[in-house]
Amino acid sequence: QVQLQQSGAELVKPGSSVKISCKASGYTFTSYDMHWIKQQPGNGLEWIGWIYPGNGNTKYNQKFNGKATLTADKSSSTAYMQLSSLTSEDSAVYFCAIGKFAYWGQGTLVTVSS
């Protein structure tokens, strides 16, 4: 069965960067777009972008250009999202999802605080 296992919660300082992961299993990693979604506390869902692990192609929501960088490691079937120049506005739960959002990871909480 499809499983997306995300890395654990992160507490990071303003101005720093963080890299969170999403390890995939149960399907061919290189055959499906991996999407990333942001959910701020008490707020709705916002699409960040996708990466196609087969060739590394990416597409970003313009709002997250320069904020998020998506990569993928085919050898470990793991997708990554790096968030840079963090502010309090980046404090959120981040999800990975595949299959046109049919399958989701459990989410990674990122808290930006000094």
Partner 1 sequence: DIQMTQSPASLSASLEEIVTITCQASQDIGNWLAWYQQKPGKSPQLLIYGATSLADGVPSRFSGSRSGTQYSLKISRLQVEDPGIYYCLQGYSAPYTFGAGTKLELK
Task: Name the site residues for partner 1 (rule: CB under 8 A).
Answer: 35, 44-47, 50, 59, 61-63, 95, 100-102, 104-107
Sign of the dihedral defined by the CA atoms of residues 24, 73, 71, 92, in that order: positive
The whole-angstrom separation of Cα 14 and Cα 99 is: 33
Q: C-beta of 114: minimal distance to partner 1 in Å?
A: 26
CB-based contact 21:34 (threshold 8 Å): no
Q: C-beta of 94: minimal distance to partner 1 in Å?
A: 11
Q: Which two three-digit tokens encode residue 87?
A: 């502010």
Q: C-beta of 75: minimal distance to partner 1 in Å?
A: 26
Q: Which is nearer to partner 1, 72 or 93 (CB)?
A: 93
Q: Which is nearer to partner 1, 72 or 98 (CB)?
A: 98
Q: Which is nearer to partner 1, 35 or 67 (CB)?
A: 35
CA angle 70, 9, 62 (to 5 degrees): 30
